[in-house]
Amino acid sequence: MQVKGRLAARFDYIEPLLTNKNKEARVEYAKSFLRALSNGRHVLDTKQNYVHVDEKWLYLTKVKRRFYVYNDEDVVLRSVKSNNFIMKVMFLAAVAIPPYGPHTKTYFDGKLGVWPFVEETVAQRTSKNCPKGAIVTSPQTVTAEVYQDVIVNKVVPAINAKMPASRRRC
């Protein structure tokens, strides 16, 4: 005997709504990684000389944390005015495909670095958190100029220092 009208779980995934112009742009982007050979064939670029840069926002603390303490210890009081006031900082990370360096006979691990967008200032007056004149680290407002400064002064030197010379273009 077969049971009719049985309730079953079904999954439906959202798909991107792409116009023909979007599809053409995706095809052109994929074509940009093809290299033409002298015999008329095409080869896919290995992307060994590409550096991937990404931003990530991280909160300085979590609302709920587990601490392991002995019975005679107290848990440190962590407090904020509201859960909406938990400070977050933007980080910039750069990675590359780990190629083999033929001259140094070593492998590059692919990790170029992670840099926070923070600024260190001197405290102007004494508060309950720090005395006057102490160095205070605070999140930096990320503008196009700040972002470009990090790319030029931190990411590019890391590329020159860590990537094998045969793979870099900058």
Range of the domain at 54: 50-162
Q: What was the pLDDT predicted at 60?
A: 85
Q: Residue 152 falls within a domain, yes or no?
A: yes
Structure tokens at 34: 């093809």
**pLDDT tens-digit series, residues 37-92:** 889 898 888 787 889 999 999 998 888 888 888 888 888 888 888 888 888 999 99
| 3-class DSSP state of 91 | strand
In-domain check, residue 37: no
Q: How confident is the model at residue 170 (pLDDT cuts 50, 70, 90)?
A: low
Is 35 a domain residue? no
164 has a pLDDT exceeding 80: no
| Spatial separation of the C-alpha atoms in residues 113 and 165, rounded to whole Å | 18
pLDDT band at 101; cut points 50, 70, 90: low
**Residue positions counted in the chain:** 170
Is residue 111 domain-resident? yes
pLDDT score recorded for residue 103: 67
In a domain, 26, yes or no: no
pLDDT at 56: 94
Let me know if residue 169 belongs to a domain: no
> What average pLDDT does the segment 136-157 reach?
94
Q: Tokens for 145?
A: 């100029």
Torsion of CA 131, 137, 138, 142, to 10 degrees: 150
33 domain-assigned: no
Q: Is residue 19 part of a domain?
A: no
Domain total in the chain:
1
In this predicted structure, the answer to whether residue 28 has a pLDDT above a threshold of 60 is yes
Helix (H) or strand (E) holding 112: strand 111-116
Measured over all CA atoms, what is the biggest interatomic distance in the chain, rounded to whole angstroms? 83
What's the CA gap between 137 and 129, in Å, rounded?
A: 12
Give yes or no for residue 104 having a pLDDT over 80. Answer: no
Rounded to whole angstroms, the Cα distance separating 47 from 34 reads 11
